[in-house]
């Protein structure tokens, strides 16, 4: 087992910082695109504050023009531009280090600041008591629009030094605790032999289970936790954490005392009831993020009544959303739940799968499925967590998809006597083996397409209703604006593919890569063509609105019907999918 200090080596810290820098560079690239389109002060101030690179991170690296530029052969080795840019930036730093040491050149200022930053981080690991993790900045992210308010999700942003320490400590603790977690848990696991467990594996498990059973119907129960990260009790998670430490040390291994102290400092840096919930009383806070009527929802009364006897304010409740250690906390606090459901002796007809706070239970017998669900609910309650109460599924209709938690229902091919579909982690699996995309995931992707076009139009200060307030200072022609939007939407959907390499290139960071477990069937064919049509609609609507923004010195925008065939369409992705094999 590696020592904690090895997780905080120069290489590990620099690699992590490179990832942060590339991520911010990607956001800044979008800002520059919008800046080139428009110089309107109000809209650009919004985009700049939202997408610009943090100064403390930017000072640790050379300017973008000094980064190593790999040749075409080197570029083809990487699946996506993010990995390529991380490797290029790391090589730039390594080359500078070699030149400073061997050629005795004067070290640049960014190089000195980077080494100073690494030194401070490593010193804090050796002596974590000298400085604690500071309180994070709480940023509201829009989630849902209700009649009375805009429901927001609180995202915690730690300063750069704390963020690095939290992330690498989380990696260390995840690696040493992972052998003691159950195989039914699929989210946020340690990387073993270069194999990463993903949500795709859960669908494979469901398909394999159905193939193995092959005898009639299956009973399925689903349960959804309510405000999971916002309801975690600190005292409870500390007790569970200490039990895991004892398990590790019982196997003649040692858990770093520094890592333990950092874990406790992380918990002390945030509570939902004291850090977040009180912000609901300050409307100016939400207006500062351009969210009028914003609110952070929290089941205060339910927690107080069920677990805290009216003293919820004196307890420490909630862990940060956005901190790496929160992912580990999710697996730790739900470990006892997994152990309770997936009990010994092993029932070969029982399938229990959990991905973070989402779970599904399957069994060939309804009674045993109900018993497993009762064990789950009982352990959830003892963990002081809340669930959406499971409901009986009497008839398969639209209401079925709106129900978050479900008591055991019959998964069968006959809709008059059961339910033909099971929904999990963005997928929906039919009884006969067909797999399709969840409708909510389709809607989310279409909204992302529209949002990209709306942001460009906002940068142009275009008023759709009155067609006034038109900004004439765009640095880009209308054709360039359309091309930039088209390229971005294609990259979001199928990756940065080209006509000459689309058959050989690996899928990168894109939407289709998130659904690689689909099989080709008539439903998926229809869904992917729907996404292609909606993307075309977004681009054509964008062109139509640009027609009113044409300057006198520029030719009007010609609105042609846009269709992106192979390799740029969602539907082209289906050519790589396996053909559906029926399960009987």
Looking only at Cα atoms, what is the longest distance across the chain?
A: 80
Q: What is the DSSP letter of 458?
A: H
Give the C-alpha separation, 232 to 139, whole Å: 20
Q: What's the helix, strand, coil split of the chain in %, to 5?
A: 55, 10, 35
Q: Which residues lie across from 410 on neighbouring strands?
A: 219
Give the C-alpha separation, 47 to 35, whole Å: 9
Give the C-alpha separation, 172 to 152, whole Å: 32
Half-sphere exposure of 219 (CA within 13 A, CB side): 16
Tokens linked to 342: 């997936």
Contacts of 370 (CB under 8 A, 6+ apart): 221, 407, 408
Tell me how far CA of residue 80 lies from CA of 107, 183, 321, 495, 551, in angstroms.
31, 30, 27, 8, 37
Peptide bond preceding 410 in cis form (omega within 30 of 0): no
Consecutive H or E run containing 545: helix 522-546
pLDDT by residue, tens only, the chain of 584 residues = 468 999 999 999 999 999 999 888 777 766 666 666 654 444 444 444 444 456 688 899 998 888 888 877 777 777 677 888 888 999 999 999 999 988 888 899 999 999 999 999 999 998 888 889 999 999 999 887 777 788 999 999 999 999 999 999 999 999 999 999 999 999 999 987 567 888 999 999 999 999 888 767 899 999 989 999 999 999 999 999 999 999 999 888 899 999 999 999 999 999 998 889 889 888 889 988 888 888 999 998 899 888 988 677 778 999 999 899 999 999 999 999 999 998 756 788 899 999 998 999 999 999 999 999 999 999 999 999 999 999 998 888 888 998 999 999 999 987 778 899 999 999 999 998 899 999 999 999 999 999 888 887 777 654 444 444 444 556 667 777 788 888 888 888 887 777 666 666 666 678 888 888 898 889 999 999 999 999 999 988 888 877 765 554 455 555 555 566 777 888 887 777 887 655 54
């Amino acid at each position: 087992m590696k020592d904690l200090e090895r997780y905080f080596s120069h290489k590990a810290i620099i690699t992590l910082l490179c990832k942060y820098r590339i991520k911010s560079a990607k956001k800044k690239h979008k800002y520059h695109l919008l800046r080139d389109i428009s110089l309107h002060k109000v809209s650009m101030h919004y985009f700049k504050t939202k997408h610009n690179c943090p100064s403390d991170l930017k000072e640790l690296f050379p300017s973008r023009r000094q980064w190593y530029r790999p040749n075409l052969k080197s570029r083809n080795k990487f699946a996506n531009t993010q990995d390529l840019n991380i490797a290029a930036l790391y090589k730039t730093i390594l080359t500078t280090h070699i030149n400073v040491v061997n050629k005795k050149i004067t070290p640049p200022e960014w190089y000195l600041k980077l080494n100073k930053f690494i030194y401070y981080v490593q010193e804090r690991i050796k002596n974590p008591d000298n400085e604690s993790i500071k309180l994070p900045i709480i940023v509201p992210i829009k989630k849902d629009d209700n009649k009375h308010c805009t429901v927001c999700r609180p995202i915690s942003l730690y300063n750069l030094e704390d963020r690095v320490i939290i992330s690498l400590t989380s990696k260390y603790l995840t690696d040493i605790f992972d052998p003691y977690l159950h195989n039914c848990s699929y989210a946020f696991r340690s990387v073993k032999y270069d194999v990463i467990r993903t949500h795709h594996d859960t669908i494979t498990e469901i398909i394999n289970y159905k193939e193995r059973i092959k005898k009639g119907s299956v009973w399925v129960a689903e349960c959804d936790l309510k405000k999971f990260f916002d309801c975690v009790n600190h005292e409870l998670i500390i007790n569970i954490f200490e039990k895991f430490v004892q398990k590790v040390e019982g196997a003649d291994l040692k858990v770093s005392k520094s890592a333990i102290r950092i874990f406790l400092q992380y918990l002390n840096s945030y509570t939902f009831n004291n850090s977040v919930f009180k912000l609901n009383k300050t409307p100016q806070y939400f207006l500062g993020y351009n969210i009028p009527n914003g609110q952070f929802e929290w089941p205060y009364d339910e927690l107080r009544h069920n677990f805290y006897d009216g003293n919820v304010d004196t307890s420490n409740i909630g862990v940060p959303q956005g901190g790496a250690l929160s992912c580990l906390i999710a697996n730790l606090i739900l470990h006892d739940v997994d152990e309770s459901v997936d009990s010994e002796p092993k029932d070969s007809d029982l399938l229990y799968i959990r991905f973070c706070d989402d779970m599904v239970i399957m069994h060939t017998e309804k009674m045993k499925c109900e018993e497993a669900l009762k064990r789950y609910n009982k352990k959830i309650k003892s963990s002081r967590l809340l669930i959406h109460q499971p409901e009986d599924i009497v008839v398969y209709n639209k209401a079925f998809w709106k129900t978050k938690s479900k008591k055991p229902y019959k998964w069968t091919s006959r809709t008059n006597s059961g339910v033909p579909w099971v929904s999990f982690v963005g997928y929906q699996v039919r009884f006969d083996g067909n797999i399709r995309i969840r409708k909510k995931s389709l809607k989310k992707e279409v909204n992302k397409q529209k949002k990209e076009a709306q942001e460009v139009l906002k940068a142009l200060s275009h008023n759709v209703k009155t067609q006034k307030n038109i900004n004439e200072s765009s640095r880009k022609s209308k054709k360039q604006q359309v091309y930039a939007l088209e390229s971005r939407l294609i990259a979001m959907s199928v990756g940065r593919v080209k006509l000459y390499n689309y058959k050989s290139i690996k899928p990168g960071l894109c939407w289709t890569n998130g659904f690689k477990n689909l099989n080709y069937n008539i439903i998926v064919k229809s869904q992917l063509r729907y996404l292609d049509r909606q993307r075309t609609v977004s681009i054509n609507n964008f062109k139509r609105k640009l027609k009113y923004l044409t300057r006198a010195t520029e030719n009007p925008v010609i609105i042609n019907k846009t269709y992106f065939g192979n390799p740029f369409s969602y539907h082209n992705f289906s050519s790589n999918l396996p053909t559906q094999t029926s399960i009987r």
